[in-house]
């Protein structure tokens, strides 16, 4: 009697599991591959941005020759006309290009004179370790609104900084000689107008010496 | 005799209800006003109390009736609050989410009921649930703190990190921002990384343990100010408060004071009052017809140090 | 049954009626359908926990681990559903269906409860200590399983048990109502039910009469674990996320509901229906304090006093008898 009861129970449970399966078996490889595909890859994204999106955005830049005199005469007006900022931030970004003569070269910056006949360092290209969001936020191409998880958006910043550090900067450090002429495209973050405008601290995307 | 105490009990219950009723007659007077709900993740941390109270005060200033709900860091309690406020006819929610993922379902519920939700300080991992999210830019703030950390601790030595609650987005945004800088200096070695759960007592306890195992650390980076105060207390007890540099995050009043006194090196000032006020204003604009809000609005974090501490206080800029 | 005893039995009911009348006079929102539905939905989780807790307290025990078991069962179900179970040795992943995840979650609860029962009966640990240990074990396992992060995005099929509706009433309410019916039947009409009351009334006498007391206790704790798991599944489904912190402190709400419902902490006296009333009283109180716009700080104070008042009433009542 007892054995029969057990048998019935097992048959019932087995048929329920047959009708409503508890799980499906998948190979570990496909499952892992699916998971990797589903997670956001900031390095890959930054790479795409670098090769596809960024080159087309260069016309949106303001030239240093226009920008420098503009903020020297009226910082507020220049900020209004040429800069962009994100959120409720008081700081802002310039996305600019220009040419200049190299005045000095140090471990973490290359100082340039941009306006005709100037001997002051007006722009300083940053060549040390790159931190912050100037590259991500300065171009206006990327918006936090597109990223459900802001950790992903922050990872893009780090990935872009890494690309600049590994590709743009080594070349720049090698080619930068005092007295040489150099052209650049980059982003500048202005947090404190008292210190960040003179010279304007630019993180370069591209540089070219002649 | 027996019925006596029972009557007394009933009378007590009724009296309690009556007291509550008279205490809250304001709610009845304001029956004509639209109601705004302020749902806060926890009121166990003064920083969040300031956030909630400010949002409520601003909503009242703008002519609404406002109520604060305490989710007690429990997404299920938060779900109950949302159900209640939807049934209660609230017109907008100023929302400080408990969990970036776990709170999404709650926001979607309000959205389905046509109630706008404005996230304050903490985000939810979704771009189509809340009407707008005002987020403290913890990552960038901690990048700046990381740079200052390297400058004041030096490019070589051992340090420790106290993380917040491990499941919280802010914990990792802060930690990642900090490490995006500090990890670039191979001479700086993190010898301990433990969770102090954003709690002062827990921070103290964890720091005591870390000091036992690693007496030579030169700095400690804390994911919030409560833990920073706890860690500092542990250092004082161990007689090491002069040797170990403490960094916090939040901009709590006691830490700003400690920075002025040179006890703590720096903190990241978030602006709870500014964010809370702005969220109430957004809700007001929404009720008056505005619909186009940016989804994620970054609110910058400023680094407070001994040099500029005079400019800060009272959970913001003076 | 004399009038005195009857009055004592009806005490939680009277309290509930008084509260409902008071609330409906004080707020016009209270008696709306949406609000009543919310109250039922919000007590459904505590109800699941409290049914099990009632049985346990009836045997003279206590279970402090229900909140932690709730968290673990929810997390395990969510994890199996979302990520599956990787068996590295065989190079396969068992991708669980929603049904499979639910079954696994309940089995986990059953197993943990069983462990509680073994610790209490075979190793003679006091229930307070044994389940306190389990509280820590289950919470730790939850953290290990999830890595401290919530498991989210579980899909609408699974979500149905927490967020779905049937005939205009939330599924969670149907589930808890069904469990109330089942366990009311078990407690009143089955041998196990009679044994539970007997064990709580006098353990020695029960053992003398040839009943296997340990077996009854193990069953009761295992059922308590399974019910906590059901509560965990409901919480997880409602939020579409398994939060590793889920259920923190829920054991206290559950004990409160049982006690307010008139079940004696010393065992043998009380009922499932009383516990339902206890849950309703807490639910109405939470909801009412909110509708009356009472500050969150005061809410906690008021709730504490209500619990004290309920237990005081119980104690005063039994002293006279």
pLDDT digits (tens, 9 = 90+) for B224-252: 999 999 999 999 999 999 999 999 999 98
Confidence (pLDDT) at A143: 84
pLDDT band at B13; cut points 50, 70, 90: low
pLDDT band at A32; cut points 50, 70, 90: confident
Residue B9 is predicted with a pLDDT of 58
According to the per-residue pLDDT averaged within each range, which of A28-32, A40-44, A130-134, B67-71 is highest?
A: B67-71
Q: Which residue has the higher pLDDT, B144 or C86?
A: B144
| Domain range annotation of chain A | 2-209
**CA within 13 Å, CB half, B282:** 27
| Per-residue pLDDT at C319 | 54
C43-76: pLDDT as tens digits: 999 999 999 999 999 999 999 999 999 999 999 9
Its sign, for the CA torsion B52, B57, B62, B66, is: positive
For position C320, what pLDDT does the model report? 46
Q: Give residues with Cβ within 8 angstroms of A158, minimum separation 6.
A: A42, B176, B180
Sign of CA pseudo-dihedral B214, B217, B223, B229: positive
Q: Is 2.40.50.420 the CATH number for A2-209?
A: yes
Question: For position B1, what pLDDT does the model report?
Answer: 43
pLDDT digits (tens, 9 = 90+) for A97-152: 888 888 888 888 888 888 877 778 888 888 888 888 888 888 888 888 888 888 88
Q: Which of A33-37, A50-54, B2-6 has the lowest mean pLDDT?
A: B2-6
Residue C151 has pLDDT above 50, yes or no: yes
Beta partners for B118?
B94, B132
**Angle value at C-alpha C32, between C26 and C34, nearest 5 degrees:** 130
Percent of chain A with pLDDT over 90: 1
Q: What angle do CA B226, B278, B24 make, to 5 degrees?
A: 80
Reading the block at residue C305, the tokens are 């006093």
Contacts of A25 in chain C (CB under 8 A): 92-95
Q: Does the structure show a pLDDT above 60 at A37?
A: yes
Beta carbons within 10 angstroms of residue B222's beta carbon: 31
Task: For residue B26, list chain C residues with Cβ-Cβ distance below 8 A.
Answer: 293
- Residue B251 near residue B267, CB atoms below 8 Å: yes
* Length of chain A counted residue by residue: 210
ipTM score here?
0.77
Number of domains present in the structure of chain C: 1
**Of C137 and C151, more confident:** C137
Distances (CA, A) of B318 to A73, B93, B256, B310: 30, 28, 12, 8
Write the DSSP symbol of residue A60.
Answer: G
The phi, psi pair for B305, rounded to 5°, reads -125, 180
Which of B100, B177, B298 is opposite residue A144, by nearest beta carbon? B298
CB contact under 8 A, A23 and C92: no
**Chains near C (3 or more Cβ pairs under 8 Å):** A, B
Q: What's phi and psi for A26, nearest 5 deg?
A: -125, 155
Task: Return the residue in C93, C94, C108, C158 with the most chain A beta carbons within 10 A, the one to mutate for interface testing.
Answer: C93
Query: Quick check: helix, strand or coil at residue C94?
Result: strand
pLDDT tens for B145-191 read 999 999 999 999 999 999 988 777 788 889 999 999 999 999 999 99
Under a CB-based contact definition with an 8 Å cutoff, are residues B133 and B96 in contact?
Answer: no
**What pLDDT, in 10s, does the model give residues C82-131?**
888 888 778 788 888 889 899 999 999 999 999 999 999 999 999 999 99
- C64, containing H or E segment: none
| Per-residue pLDDT reduced to its tens digit, C168-219 | 888 999 999 999 999 999 999 999 999 999 888 888 888 888 888 899 999 9
* Spatial distance between the Cα atoms of A210 and A22, rounded to a whole number of angstroms: 69
* Residues whose CB is less than 8 angstroms from the CB of residue C259 and which lie 6 or more positions away in sequence, other chains included: C265, C278, C307, C310, C311, C314
Report d(CA C228, CA C195) in Å as an integer. Answer: 22
Q: Which residue of C has its CA nearest to A16?
A: C99
Other CB atoms within a 10 A radius of the CB of residue A141 amount to 14
Predicted pLDDT of residue B14 = 59
C29/B87 Cβ within 8 A: yes
Query: Which CATH number fits the domain that encloses residue C66?
Result: 1.10.3470
Distance CA B80, CA C38 (A): 8
CB C12, CB C261: distance < 8 Å: yes
Neighbouring C-beta atoms of residue C297, cutoff 10 Å:
11
Q: Can you name the residues that pair with C60 across neighbouring β-strands?
A: none
| Residue A75 burial (C-beta neighbours within 10 Å; 0-12, 13-18, 19+) | middle
Render pLDDT for B261-309 as a digit per residue (tens, 0 to 9). Answer: 999 999 999 999 999 999 999 999 999 999 989 898 988 899 999 999 9
pLDDT tens for C13-35 read: 888 888 888 888 888 888 888 88
How confident is residue B17, by pLDDT bands cut at 50, 70 and 90? low
Measured CA to CA in angstroms, residue C178 lies from C47, C74, C184, C278 at distances of 11, 20, 10, 17
Local structure of residue A168 (DSSP, 8 states): I
Residue A199, preceding peptide bond in cis (omega within 30° of 0): yes
Q: Give me the phi and psi of B242, to 5 degrees please.
A: -85, -20
Decide if pLDDT at B131 tops 80. Answer: yes
Q: Where are the alpha helices (DSSP H) in chain C?
A: 3-26, 33-58, 66-82, 98-121, 127-146, 156-163, 171-189, 191-201, 203-208, 213-239, 250-260, 272-291, 296-320
Nearest 5 degrees, angle CA B146-CA B148-CA B152? 120
Sign of CA dihedral B96, B97, B98, B100: negative
The whole-chain average pLDDT of chain A stands at 84
- Residue A22 has its nearest CB partner, among C83, C88, C100, at C100
Which 8-state DSSP code applies to residue C313?
H
- Looking at residue B263, the DSSP 8-state letter turns out to be S
pLDDT at B11: 56
pLDDT single digits (tens) B51-87:
999 999 999 999 999 999 999 888 889 999 999 899 8
**In chain A, whose CA is at the least distance from the CA of C87?**
A28
- Residue B32 DSSP label: G
- Does the residue C3 lie in any domain? no
Pick A179 or B149 by higher pLDDT.
Answer: B149
User: Both tokens of residue B148?
Assistant: 């200052």
How many contiguous H segments (helices) and E segments (strands) does chain B have?
11, 12
Picking from A3-7, A101-105, C106-110, C291-295, which range would have the lowest pLDDT averaged per residue? Answer: C291-295
Query: Residues A135, A96: contact at Cβ < 8 Å?
Result: no
What does the pLDDT look like over C276-288, one tens digit per residue?
999 999 899 888 8
Interface test with A, best of B155, B276, B297, B302 (most A CBs within 10 A): B297
Q: Which of B7, B25, B49, B88 to mutate to test the interface with C (most CBs of C within 10 A)?
A: B88
At residue A44's C-alpha, the angle toward residues A42 and A46, to 5°, is 65
The string over B9-37, giving b where at least 16 C-beta atoms fall within 10 Å of a residue's C-beta and e elsewhere, is beeebeeebeebbeebeebeebeeebbbb
* Interchain CB contact of C296 with B (< 8 Å): yes
CB within 8 Å: B13 and C15: yes
pLDDT of residue C288: 86
Q: What percent of chain C has pLDDT over 70?
A: 96
What span, in angstroms and rounded, lies between the C-alpha atoms of B154 and B290? Answer: 50
Considering only CB atoms, C95 lies closest to which of A20, A26, A29, namely A26
Instruction: Provide the pLDDT for residue B8.
Output: 57
* B4/C152: higher pLDDT: C152
- Other Cβ atoms within 10 Å of B113 Cβ, number: 14
Cβ <8 Å between A24 and C94: yes
Under an 8 A CB cutoff, do A25 and C95 touch? yes
Q: Is the pLDDT of residue B15 over 60?
A: no
Per the structure, the complete domain to which residue C149 belongs is given by 29-316
Name the more confident of A32 and B143: B143
Alpha-carbon distance of A156 to A161, in angstroms, equals 8
């Amino acid at each position: 009697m007892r054995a029969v009861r057990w048998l019935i129970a097992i048959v019932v449970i087995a048929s329920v599991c047959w009708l409503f399966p508890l799980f499906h078996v998948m190979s570990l490889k496909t499952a892992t591959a699916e998971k990797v595909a589903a997670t956001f890859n900031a390095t890959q994204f930054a790479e795409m941005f670098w090769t596809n999106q960024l080159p087309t955005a260069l016309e949106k830049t303001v030239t240093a020759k226009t920008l420098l005199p503009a903020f020297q005469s009226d910082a507020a007006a220049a900020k209004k006309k040429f800069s962009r900022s994100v959120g409720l931030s008081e700081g802002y970004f310039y996305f600019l290009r220009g040419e200049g003569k190299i005045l000095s070269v140090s471990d973490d910056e290359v100082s340039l004179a941009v306006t005709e006949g100037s001997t002051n360092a007006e722009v300083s290209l940053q060549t040390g370790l790159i931190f912050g969001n100037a590259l991500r936020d300065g171009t206006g191409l990327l918006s936090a609104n597109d990223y459900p998880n802001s950790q992903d958006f922050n990872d893009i910043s780090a990935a872009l900084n890494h690309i600049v550090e590994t590709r743009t900067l080594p070349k720049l450090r090698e080619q930068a000689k005092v007295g040489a002429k150099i052209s650049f495209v980059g982003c500048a973050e202005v947090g404190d107008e008292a210190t960040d405008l003179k010279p304007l601290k630019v993180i370069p995307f591209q540089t070219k010496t002649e | 005799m027996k019925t006596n105490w029972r009557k007394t009990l009933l009378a007590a219950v009724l009296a309690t209800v009556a007291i509550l009723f008279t205490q809250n007659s304001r709610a009845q007077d304001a029956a004509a006003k639209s109601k705004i709900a302020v749902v806060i993740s926890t009121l166990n941390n003064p920083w969040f109390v300031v956030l909630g109270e400010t949002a409520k005060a601003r909503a009242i200033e703008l002519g609404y009736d406002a109520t604060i709900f305490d989710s007690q860091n429990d997404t299920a309690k938060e779900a109950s609050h949302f159900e209640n406020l939807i049934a209660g006819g609230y017109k907008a929610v100023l929302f400080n989410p408990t969990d970036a993922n776990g709170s999404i379902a709650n926001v979607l519920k309000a959205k389905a009921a046509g109630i706008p939700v404005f996230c304050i300080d903490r985000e939810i991992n979704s771009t189509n649930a809340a009407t707008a999210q005002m987020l403290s830019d913890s990552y960038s703030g901690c990048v700046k703190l990381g740079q200052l950390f390297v400058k004041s601790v030096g490019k070589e030595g051992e340090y420790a990190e106290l993380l917040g609650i491990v499941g919280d987005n802010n914990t990792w945004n802060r930690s990642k921002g900090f490490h995006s800088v500090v990890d670039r200096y191979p001479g700086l070695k993190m010898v301990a990384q433990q969770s102090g759960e954003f709690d002062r007592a827990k921070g103290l306890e964890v720091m005591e343990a870390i000091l036992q195992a690693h007496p030579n650390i030169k700095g400690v980076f804390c994911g919030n100010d409560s833990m920073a105060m706890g860690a500092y207390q542990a250092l004082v007890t161990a007689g090491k408060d002069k040797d170990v540099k403490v960094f916090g995050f939040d901009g709590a009043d006691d830490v700003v004071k400690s920075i002025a006194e040179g006890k703590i090196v720096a903190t990241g000032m978030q602006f709870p009052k500014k964010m809370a006020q702005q969220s109430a204003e957004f809700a007001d604009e929404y009720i008056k017809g505005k619909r186009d809000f940016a989804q994620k609005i970054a609110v910058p974090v400023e680094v407070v140090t001994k040099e500029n501490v005079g400019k800060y206080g009272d959970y913001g800029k003076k | 049954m004399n009038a005195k005893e009857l009055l004592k039995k009806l005490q939680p009911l009277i309290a509930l009626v008084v509260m409902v009348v008071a609330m409906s006079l004080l707020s016009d929102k209270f008696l709306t359908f949406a609000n009543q539905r919310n109250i039922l939905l919000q007590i459904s989780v505590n109800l699941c926990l409290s049914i099990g807790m009632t049985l346990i307290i009836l045997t003279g025990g206590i279970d402090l681990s229900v909140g932690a078991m709730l968290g673990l069962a929810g997390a395990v179900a969510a994890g199996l559903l979302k990520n599956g179970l990787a068996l590295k040795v065989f190079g396969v992943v068992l991708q669980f269906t929603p049904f499979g995840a639910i079954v696994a979650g309940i089995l986990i609860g059953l197993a943990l409860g069983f462990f509680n029962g073994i610790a209490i009966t075979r190793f003679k640990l006091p229930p307070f200590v044994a389940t306190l240990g389990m509280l820590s074990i289950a919470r730790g396992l939850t953290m290990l399983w999830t890595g401290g992060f919530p498991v989210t995005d579980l899909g609408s099929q699974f979500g149905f048990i927490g967020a779905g509706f049937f005939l205009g009433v939330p599924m969670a309410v149907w589930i808890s109502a069904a469990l109330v019916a089942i366990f009311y039947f078990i407690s009143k009409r089955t041998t196990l039910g009679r044994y539970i009351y007997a064990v709580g009334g006098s353990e020695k006498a029960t053992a003398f009469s040839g009943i296997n007391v340990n077996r009854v206790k193990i069953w009761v704790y295992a059922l308590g674990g399974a019910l906590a798991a059901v509560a965990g599944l409901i919480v997880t489904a409602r939020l579409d996320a398994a939060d590793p912190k889920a259920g923190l402190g829920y054991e206290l709400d559950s004990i409160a509901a049982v006690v307010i419902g008139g079940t004696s902490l010393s065992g043998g006296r009380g009922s499932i229906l009383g516990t339902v009333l206890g849950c309703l009283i807490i639910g109405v109180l939470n909801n009412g304090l909110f509708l009356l716009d009472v500050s969150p700080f005061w809410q906690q104070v008021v709730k504490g006093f209500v619990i004290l008042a309920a237990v005081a009433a119980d104690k005063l009542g039994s002293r006279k008898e």
